[in-house]
Amino acid sequence: MRILGLCGSLQQQSANLELLQTAAKLTAQDTPISIFTGIRELPFFNPDIDGADAPNQVREWRVALAECDAVFIASPEYGHSLPGVLKNAIDWVVGSGELYGKPVAITAAVPAPDRGQRGLAALRTTLQAVEAVVVGGKPIVRGPNFRLDIDALLEELLAVHARLSEPLLQLRA
């Protein structure tokens, strides 16, 4: 199983990037998390340059999503919503379908439990446009349970992926 990690923050020392890096350390070698940083390079979504004329960055983004089995997003809340760079990345795959039906864990690294909830709600709503199977959705507080909470979300993501894969395995049998 391959998990694609996405950070909704462009900040070099982002707490959400730290969360993804911690998640990558917690996963088994047969379940690697590769963190995709290319969303910072995506142009603003524009249907006029999509399709055969899509820029290389868009093609790379779509390939990264197509080749993974699940996605793990850690994103801050900006202005009570999701960051524009993350919304833009999702906009690029609404029509092409790489996130369709894929399990996507969402969370935010926060200093207190009452933070980040609106951003995650907005992210959940946006992911409904691509019919992703959203897992989690609660912020993870930076503190003594940080690693345990990340591990619990990873376990939930793996369980949802396994459940979604069962019908496929039965069809192949």
CB 126 within 8 A of CB 75: no
Instruction: Kindly state the percentage of the chain with pLDDT values over 90.
Output: 91
Please determine, for residue 171, whether its predicted confidence score (pLDDT) is greater than 60. no
pTM of the model: 0.95
Count of helix runs (H) and strand runs (E) in the chain: 5, 7
Report the alpha-carbon distance of residue 116 to residue 138 in Å, rounded.
Answer: 8
Per-residue pLDDT band at 166 (split at 50, 70, 90): confident
**Domain harbouring 11, CATH code:** 3.40.50.360
What value does the mean pLDDT of the chain take? 94
Question: Mind listing the pLDDT tens digit for each residue in 3-60?
Answer: 999 999 999 999 999 999 999 999 978 899 999 999 999 999 999 999 888 999 999 9
pLDDT(168) > 70: no
Alpha carbon separation from 73 to 19, 21, 39, 152 (Å, rounded) = 10, 12, 12, 15
Bridge partners of residue 141, in order along the sequence:
110
How many structural domains are present in the chain?
1
Residue 74 domain boundaries: 3-172
The Cα 147–Cα 153 span in angstroms is: 10
- Residue 66 pLDDT more than 60? yes
Mean local confidence (pLDDT), 155-172:
81
Pairwise CA distance, residues 120 & 116, whole Å: 6
pLDDT confidence of residue 65: 98
Higher pLDDT, 91 or 167: 91
172 has pLDDT over 70:
no
What percentage of residues in the chain have a pLDDT greater than 70? 96
